[in-house]
Amino acid sequence: MRAYFGRRYRFSASHRLHTEALSAEENRAAYGKCNNPHGHGHNYIVEVRVGGDVDAETGMVCNLVELDDCVRREVLEVFDHTNLNLHACFEDVVPTTESVCAEIYRRMKGAFHAAEIVAVRVEETNNNFFEIREH
């Protein structure tokens, strides 16, 4: 039987939504107040969902400690209390919530193999979130 397990994590980071591909006016029109030259910050909530068979011995989909360690190493230690615009992974990508979610998903898929990463959801505000998941 396939089961799914989800866990939430939090980190704080700042960013500015801006691209050199647009003029100053176009950036303001596209990103509004999020185009502030000084940037702004969020307290992000990241949800990681894994799926797999329930282990007959442990009764779990995956070892929670291993998942926590992977998220800490691949996400929290990398992005917490940083300016997302300064990360190499966002050098040519605007660090929107969609881009942040995609990067976290990519990192987790590459680093966690004890169970399948089936979805990553990043909540930027109470109203805004983005999710990437397997089809």
Residues marked active site are found at 34, 81, 124
Which residues fall within 8 angstroms of residue 68, CB to CB, at 6 or more apart? 7
Q: Can you state the percent helix, strand and coil of the chain, rounding each to 5?
A: 35, 30, 30
Which residues fall within 8 angstroms of residue 45, CB to CB, at 6 or more apart? 8, 9, 10, 122, 123
Residues 100/34, Cβ–Cβ less than 8 Å? no
Max distance between CA atoms of the chain, in angstroms, equals 60
Residues 122/97, Cβ–Cβ less than 8 Å? yes
At position 62, the amino acid (one-letter code) is: C
